[in-house]
Amino acid sequence: MSTSSRPIVIGLTGNIGVGKSVALKILQQLGARVIDADKIAHEVMSPGGSAYDAVVKAFGKGVLTKDGSIDRSKLADIVFTDHDQLRRLERIIHPAVEQRISDIIEEATEPVVAIEAIKLLESRLRHLCDTIWVVTASRERQLNRLVYQKGLTQEEALKRMAAQSPQAHKVREADVVLHNDGDLEQLQAQVEAAWQSLMAQREESEHNEDS
């Protein structure tokens, strides 16, 4: 466990449509500095961002909007139908995202930083984390959230779900598993219990350092 001079870093992951962003919001309410890796990716792909030029060079000007920004829906149509193209994008984006997140952790004054990233375990972000929390949900719940909350068609949702590694792979790597097939209160209770355990570990670690 990290020392008191550095925040504890939670890596929060899980497949698309399981409710990671809800769990992240609960962690923020509990006092964590939260980082949404997808938002950081959007930032580095924005005009002037560290990955913008490389993405345009790799995928062409056809992925740009009229104002010159990258149309993420057009880019998604390309990468979620071709695994090679997805890996190509990730090779460009991941290093830029990892560097930005590392900088945010260094600047953080909160006792805990939580990173939400769908590809956390497959990237070097994993090595920044002290503990891995995985959110899971049934396939039916995932599909329902993507269609009715995210506005995807069923075909689009199934395509994105198929592009990801099985949930079981992530669960095997988890220190904490959050089951999100119930309501918000059930998820909140699980997050709060895991948080309390983490704070107890931090307190014990600080006590041992002072002894």
- Please give the pLDDT value at position 163: 83
Q: Distance between CA 51 and CA 49 in Å, rounded?
A: 6
- Please give the pLDDT value at position 42: 93
- Please give the pLDDT value at position 149: 85
Could you give the percent of the chain with pLDDT greater than 90? 78
As beta bridge partners, residue 97 has none
**Residue 134: phi, psi to the nearest 5?**
-115, 125
pTM of the model: 0.85
Tokens linked to 169: 């792979």
Beta-sheet strands, E only, within the chain: 8-13, 33-36, 112-116, 131-136, 176-179
Output the CA torsion sign for 94, 15, 195, 21: positive
**Residue 24: phi, psi to the nearest 5?**
-65, -40
Give the β-pairing of 33-36 and 8-13. Answer: unpaired
Tell me the pLDDT tens digit for each residue of 124-141.
999 999 999 999 999 999
Tokens 């345009």 locate to 56
Tell me the pLDDT tens digit for each residue of 48-107.
999 999 999 999 999 999 999 999 999 999 998 888 999 999 999 999 999 999 999 999
- Please give the pLDDT value at position 211: 60
As beta bridge partners, residue 10 has 114, 131
Domains and CATH numbers, the chain: 8-210 (3.40.50.300)
